[in-house]
Amino acid sequence: MPRSSLGFCLLLTSALLAAQAPLPLGGEAFRLAEETYRLQKSGDLPGALKTVEAALSAAPDHPQLLRLKLDLLFASGSLPACETLRQKLAAQQPGDATLALFEVFLRQREGRTDEAMALATRLAEAPEVPAEVRRQARLTRAYTHLARHEDGAALAQFSAALDGQSPPSAWQDAAYAAKRLGHNAEAARCFARSLDAEGSATSGRTDAAQEFGLRREIEALRRTWGVLAGTAYRQGGLFPGVVSEQRILQQGLEAYWQPEALAQNGRSVQFYVQAFENLHNGHEGTAGGPTVQGGAGFRIKPLASQNLVFAVQKLFQGGRLAIDDWLFRAAYSREAGLDLRPWQEDWNYWSFYTEGDSFAKTGHYVHQLELRAGHAWRVPVAGGSSMVSPHLVLAADYDNRLPMDCTAAGLGAGLSLRHWFREDRHQAPASWLDLTLQGRVRLNQASRGSGLFITLTAWF
């Protein structure tokens, strides 16, 4: 979410007002001014105000001290006194653009946003005003538009105002506005500029976790396609032609396309093609070419904040034992800690996944569920982009085609090894390779809930 512009305005006010060229201070007034700045930096506003009053006693009406007092009054929330002093300074220095900009901030703080916007507009469009003041006026308009939930207008003002000297927070606020509008490429560009600004920023720096979060945002915003390949060994299967008591080794491949126009602020539509094949089927079951199952379809993620996905898929025969049908799917998942954490050596994690699949022609319905909880350690190899994750697992499935033991459940322990790759300065790792081994004991009569479960997955 966009950050409040108040802190940024305070920093800006201090910088702009100090940028004037006052008469030099000397002696006791200079010493007291230095002490005021020290107290201001430490957050002691009452002490700073008391000290600046003493400095003004030593150097009455000195412009630099009056501007410093103005900044302190603004920061402490003494708005009536702040307005009185602003008027005094404006009378002494008519036409001063920095004081006009300060009035914009003051009107905002007073809640008089329409007046603040009118003043900011005049400053932003006045060619005689210094370029820095015009730029800050545009930023003020941008933040006002954000407060009004007018992302389009805010992004236009950000685009006109932001440059290489802008703080990371301003670039991030522009990025979030672009993301909400569905302008993914522009959002990714602004997030990247915020990371570039980190190197030269003197304030508003992000921590390591937030920086990685921004890099993950960029990776997600740039993604328009993907490939997923997997090989799984388990007892029984949830696909047509697989008997529940069989030990089976299957492989699958999927490629998908995610149009940028349909991927907006956490919601997305993907079009995909899939193929599955039995590599080994226990009890002399069929494997290889005759079992190739093809499919093509689309899936929709309609909610921005929840990983709920609906899919419609046409199944077609690749081999003579495959089926021709329509498949309707619904899946939901939640997790915490599954992503890489370069700023931590180890952390807890958990994940939950459930999916229901309905075949239109046959009336076949299957459902599966898995819950994991464990601990992850980063492995100090390959740049620290690998992790090992022991975990406990609870899994269950339901298959209505079976004459008995339709429901199976198992409890066990497992170990996952995952390596992340394809990253750069701006983008978090976009791909991973994962090997998971689990041993389960059954919780009911269905034998397919127990045994050894192995999956090898590549996400690109």
H-run or E-run covering 256: strand 247-257
Q: Is 265 left (phi over 0), alpha (psi -120 to 50) or beta?
A: left
Least confident of 37-46, 61-70, 129-138, 202-211: 202-211
Are the beta carbons of 301 and 309 closer than 8 angstroms?
yes
Q: Which residue has the tokens 């497992």?
A: 414
Are the beta carbons of 194 and 405 closer than 8 angstroms?
no
User: Can you tell me the mean pLDDT for 215-237?
Assistant: 91
Beta bridge partners of 409: 396
Q: What is the pLDDT of residue 102?
A: 92
User: Can you tell me the mean pLDDT for 371-398?
Assistant: 93
- Rg over alpha carbons for the chain, rounded to the nearest Å, is 31
Collapsed DSSP state (helix, strand, coil) of residue 208:
helix
Nearest to 67 by CA among 27, 28, 40, 31: 40
Task: State yes or no: pLDDT of 242 exceeds 90.
Answer: no
Q: What is the pLDDT of residue 200?
A: 55
User: Can you tell me the mean pLDDT for 139-145?
Assistant: 93
DSSP label at 384? Answer: G
Least confident of 122-136, 142-156, 208-222, 304-318: 122-136
pLDDT tens for 173-183 read 999 999 999 99
pLDDT tens for 84-124 read 999 999 888 888 888 999 999 999 899 898 999 999 999 99
The per-residue pLDDT of the chain, averaged, comes to 89
Q: What is the pLDDT of residue 203?
A: 46
Task: State yes or no: pLDDT of 228 exceeds 90.
Answer: yes
Q: What is the pLDDT of residue 199?
A: 62
Token reading at 454: 């192995």
The domains of the chain, with CATH numbers, are: 6-216 (1.25.40.10), 221-459 (2.40.128)
Are the beta carbons of 346 and 376 closer than 8 angstroms?
yes
373 HSE (CA, 13 A, CB side): 2
The pTM for the full model equals: 0.83
